[in-house]
Structure 1
Amino acid sequence: MAKTVTQNQLIGEIGEIAAKLRFLRMGFQFDVRSRLETGIDGIAEVMADGKPLAQMIAVQVKTTKEGRYAGETEEGFHYLLKSEDLAYWRPSNLPVIIVLYRESDESFYWKEIPRGDDAQERRLTFSKRDDLLDRNAANRVAALTVPKAGFGYYVPPLGGGEEALVNILPIKLPTEVFVATTSYNVRQANAILLQDDEPARFDWVIRGGTFWSFHDPRTSVCRAIVDIDQVEAVDTAHLAFHDDVDERNAFAYLLRQTLDHQVRGELWWSKENSCFYFAARAEYTARVFKYESSKKLTEADVVNPIESKREAGSIAFVRHHAFVPRFESLYDEWYLVVEPTYVFTTNGFTSHPHPDALLAGKKRLDKSASLRGQVIMWHRFLKSLEPKTDDLFAVASSEPRISFGSPPTLELPTRVPDDVWGSPKKDDGDQDEPDLLRRA
């Protein structure tokens, strides 16, 4: 019996060759995989001015000769992924994109495949304007190779500059840490402090029968939970840069507790989201924070009631600017990593019952300018809480504090275009507030 090539095999081969040519014209290398492939047809490598960068993207090509996609209109269409393909792509260590090629009109569309815990939705929605695979999409495709985890991420600046802002704030530590023995565990110590007549404070750590704090416990309500005659001041560096990882973790927790004490009354802590967020002053009431941006005096609606579109005059939810804090030590310095986010409440005080959908919608709208602005805003806010050393009428305070330097900047050899953050999407609850840095 003579061997034959099926029509599906032929169309698939045509699609892979066409996709390779498209990537080459976009400035990428493209290597087709062997016949043993089971869900990834080729590997695209990012190049800059003809120089390969060893930044790879896995590509799966789906080819059709003609016909319409599901739900196709002039604006877009839908595409349903196979469950077995999703299961194959989910653990990938490379970003994975799907490319749809239709031979009849020579059209190419692309979409990133969600991985990890997000890889649940099989139905992808394509925009014929925004998801075209052409030269205009090169930067967005290349941006998929940028790692999204680690000590910090680069936030591209406004305009066409090459300066990048890093979302870490250098920390200036107090020179001493007060150490004392205690016979209480954390729960017992909390109960004692809450029952005392003096205001409770929790900017301390108890670990293995030892109490740590930047403030002298003998001068505060904490005298009730330590052995007074065993209080000793030690050099901060001894604990901050200890060789033992558990010791450094305990010190990082002390920093978090100290920050919580310093921002009390201004920020609240969300246990569910592990983040600080701006406190509301009253129900359904906006709160504005004015500060000096990188260019001029500006302000941000840090607590923002959003009006319902379904019921005129009522508030759908209240959005609070927030950040997830993470303390990291790099070499001989500690940093606060600032990860901007949002907290949603029903009235400014009560947690919203469905915050995840609201957060996802707002995150889709946040572009580089907004994230850059939030990092700057949080630095200005933390600095605003520090005593004003140049104010002749300021009351001197002996209270030890952690203070924060400006976020560092780096000169990038290549500008990261703003469109790699994706196209802005309309959000029902967000039409009343522009991106933060539009005011800067």
Structure 2
Amino acid sequence: MIMSNLAISSNVRTLTHQDYKTLALSALGGALEFYDFIIFVFFSITISHLFFPDDMPAWLSQVQTFGIFAAGYLIRPFGGIVMAHFGDIFGRKRMFTLSILLMALPTLFIGCLPTYASIGIFAPLLLLMMRLCQGLAVGGEVPGAWTFVAEHVPKNKIGLACGILTSGLSLGILLGSLVSTIMSKSVSVEQMNEWGWRVPFIIGGIFGLIAMYLRRWLKETPIFLEIQQRKNQELAKKLPVITVLTQYLPQTILSMLLTWVLSAGIMVIMLMTPILLQKQFGFSALEALQGNILAIIGLIISCTFYGMMMDKFSMGKVLVIGCTIAAIMIAIFYLSLDNPNLLFITYSLAGFSVGIVGSFAYFMVKVFPTEVRYSGVSFSFNMAYAIAGGLTPLLISFFSDFVSKMAPAIYVVGLFLLGASIGLFLLINNNLQKYVAKDIS
């Protein structure tokens, strides 16, 4: 009866001051945490020079640097599963706060690490340890943030909440791009190698600690508190992730496929394309960076827009239309790169179209019940992202160098068509109503 009253009240009420504060603090923390995770790639060239021997070939030190970067992706499933396990048993807020601490401290430490010239082989090993800690943190942050806000807001605002959170993560990418641009313009190469590269990490660590302090004002989700009061003790003794895999396998598979689509949009269009524009299409670094900033701004706006659309229309319709538009716009963007005058326009539109990924979290939080929601979202998202995060850069680099410079477009367009197919599947199956969790539907 209490649960029914809670569901009814959450359906009819509007966003309160506390809801807005929850969304703001969650989005801010997500932006700063994702900045901390992604800033590494913007300074990878400098790091490769400082943390490996001078006589090592440049390509090898660069490969090893990206290997350390990729380690953060590979460890994500472990961090996500562990933090989600305790989040489903002891509460979302505790893990939500812990994740940002685990991100802020290693980021701060990276900015203070001695280089290879000072301590030899221990420099890259310490860097790897810090990167692994960051991976553990982000594995719990993203699914935890989606789960946290979805359980706070009214039913008809879940899409908006998830979209705002995803926009916050995108803002972290934008911050990383802007900071790297400012540092590159403000200091010389010698100053960058001596001390400049440390500044973005130290700033990120400090802001992360501030965001963690602000999160102390967040409250535990009301749905979790209600479930905890009446929770079956036998369920509490089980591993939530086992329950997810044995009882919610269809939801898990679909969530992993959507995450694969999401990873292609973010990694290829937002993170790898600026490099590809320079290597494959002859654009200058400044042109590529400016176009990328415009695309990220489009992504930030679009994530929230598509989240709102999920609240107004069926999941299937939004996915079919949004993913189809993304496939078309990404194809147009890559096909137009022979005309430099169109770069800013087509890249902006492509970035906006990729924002359909901001609605994917809506599906994930809807199909898992409260008792295992954090674990379900975390396992699906992190496992798929770890695989895609490890394979996508290798596949794109190989095929764009040895097969066709249009390989990135073919890969991403194909995956967004997969996303449209999932939307069509949901439409045919009445938006998967038989799988949607009752407590948040």
RCO higher in 1 or 2 (8 Å CA, sep ≥ 6)? Answer: 2
Greater share of helix: 2
- Interval containing the TM-score (normalised by the shorter chain): under 0.3
TM-score (norm 1): 0.23
Greater share of strand: 1
Greater Rg by CA:
1
TM-score (norm 2): 0.23
